[in-house]
Chain A
Amino acid sequence: MSLYLAQISWLHRLPAGLKLFCLAIATVLLYPVKEVGIISLAVAVTLGIYASLGRSGLAQLKLLKPLFWMMLAIFALQYWTMGLAEAWILLGRMLVLILLANAISMTTRMDEMNAVFQFLLTPLRWLGVQTQRIAFALSLLIRFVPVLVSFMHALLAAWRARGGQRRYWQIIAPLVVQALRMSDQVAEAVAARGGIPKIKN
């Protein structure tokens, strides 16, 4: 996940619903694919989309950096157990879906995303559930994922700066504390502008 791109591109102009629909279709279609050629084509098209967003679009590919080792490990494991073609198919599919989801989040305004969620939740509304709140919560979640990632990087840096070893899981507790504190602050900010009322504390 990354942040919203300033420069308005063709992808910004597409309706949010259409973008999410295409992502869903791509997920379903790519799932059964077994041909190296098709996967390679999908990867190429995805990279093409990033390139069409200009330099700032391409720069967003750096999002893959933190995932590099994980991807390499998955690729190696797959290569070892199933062979090269299988490994590439799995990796390619993962790349395409991650990158497409990211492309949507960096070119879609939060209120558009919100509207789509509200639409998808329509059946729940018929049951009397307050879907605006759920949709708002989902949009907030997407909005704050990059912030959480930045918390994680900051904590990791602090951890290493003081000679922390490989037991990285030890930053989980402070990460949760930071996330909770942030959620409190966001809830206050929402309430202070007349949004969802805050529960008395």
Chain B
Amino acid sequence: MALKITTDNFKNEVLEAKVPVIVDFWASWCRPCLMLGPIIEEIAKDLDGKVKVGKVNVDEEGYLAQQFRVSSIPTIMLFKDGKVAKQAVGLMRKEDLLKTFGL
């Protein structure tokens, strides 16, 4: 299951994680985000143990969205060692997303 990421657990779960973290910035009113949802869950299952997967609801976590300059959703970021290593925007197939992230 993808983790719910909030301002409170962001540092601990994402920035200080020992493994790469995929973070999906989404909102419930965004159709492409809803279509991406199951793909993100699949990735969480497939890469369990190797990569952590989290979701940020931009409606509830406006501060995080702003901090990372999310200006189109879904935006999917790959964090490595506390930094954004890769970024993708828009609905994508699982294989394309993983390829973009080099996973």
Chains A and B come from one and the same complex: no
**Could you list which residues of chain A lie within 8 angstroms of chain B, going by C-beta atoms?**
none
